[in-house]
Amino acid sequence: DAGVIQSPRHEVTEMGQEVTLRCKPISGHNSLFWYRQTMMRGLELLIYFNNNVPIDDSGMPEDRFSAKMPNASFSTLKIQPSEPRDSAVYFCASSLGTGWFTEAFFGQGTRLTVV
Amino acid sequence: KQEVTQIPAALSVPEGENLVLNCSFTDSAIYNLQWFRQDPGKGLTSLLLIQSSQREQTSGRLNASLDKSSGRSTLYIAASQPGDSATYLCAVMEDNAGNMLTFGGGTRLMVKP
């Protein structure tokens, strides 16, 4: 398996524009996570899906952020409108099952710059 | 709320030294603890996963220990090499929060030739 695949790797956009980040989890994994990493706050969980259903979106910073998982092999994170403070690296991760042996695998991330 | 702390935040050692990275967490109700490596501009690579019932895990020159009752884990790197230079992150998976991981702030390691 190619691992968790994210696109684009880099995104530069102007303030106010809509940004869509994409993620393909590892085939067969039933949990998907979106994280954001900044120097100031480290890695923060934004939203978590289990079997394509959003379970916890308490980390989504505000209504400008939305995430969908229309099927088991694809998820999007959308920011509309984008702001400079949204600049960060966004990671997608996936895992299988739940419990002691559950291991999370991360994509390479999307580096977002909002100017 | 679970809090994960890593000490030190940065570490610089000469090549060949054995070193220990520390991770502490406040809530011991965890399924497991994972150690990750992150190279600059890259994603996270899983190094070791220790289940809550285990005391340690080994992979090559890496050995991770877990003391769940005291909320501590260590990552031991033997005979460090310049290629080990990276940021090391620990994360805990709580047993009452689905599969979500809570991360520490990381330790930035530099191994000098």
Q: Note whether A44 and A51 are within 8 A (CB).
A: no
**CB-based contact A104 B101, cutoff 8 Å:** yes
- A66, A59 Cβ separation under 8 angstroms: no
Q: Given the structure tokens 């000469």, which residue do they identify?
A: B14
pLDDT score for B95: 74
pLDDT of residue B49: 93
| Averaged pLDDT, A22-33 | 95
Which pLDDT score is estimated for A62? 84
- Assign B96 a pLDDT band (cuts: 50, 70, 90): low
Q: What percent of chain B has pLDDT over 90?
A: 81
Residue A37 has pLDDT above 90, yes or no: yes
pLDDT in the model for residue B41:
86
Query: Which pLDDT score is estimated for A1?
Result: 65
Residues in chain B whose beta carbon is closer than 8 A to a beta carbon of chain A?
31-32, 34, 36, 41-46, 49, 51-53, 89, 91, 93, 95, 97-106
CA angle, residues A108, A114, B3, in degrees to nearest 5: 55
Distance CA B9, CA B70 (A): 21
Q: Name the DSSP class of A62.
A: S
Exposure on the CB side of residue A20, measured as CA atoms within 13 A:
6
pLDDT in tens, B18-66: 999 999 999 988 889 999 999 998 899 999 999 989 999 999 999 999 9
CB A14 within 8 A of CB A115: yes
Q: Averaged over A74-90, what is the pLDDT?
A: 97
pLDDT confidence of residue B97: 63
In chain B, whose CA is at the least distance from the CA of A91?
A: B43
Cβ pair B99:A31 closer than 8 A: yes
> Which residues from A are below 8 Å from B34, CB to CB?
103-104
Asked if residues B36 and B88 have their Cβ atoms less than 8 Å apart, the reply is: yes
Higher-pLDDT residue of A99 and B12 is: B12
Best B99, B100, B108 residue to mutate vs chain A (most A CBs within 10 Å) = B99
Q: Which residues have a Cβ under 8 Å from the Cβ of A94 and sit 6 or more positions away? A: A4, A25, A26, A29, A31, A32, A33, A104, A105
Nearest to A51, CA basis, from A27, A32, A26, A74 = A32
Compare CB distances from A102 to B36, B99, B104 and report the shortest one's residue.
B99
Question: Whole-angstrom Cα distance, residue A34 to residue A44?
Answer: 9
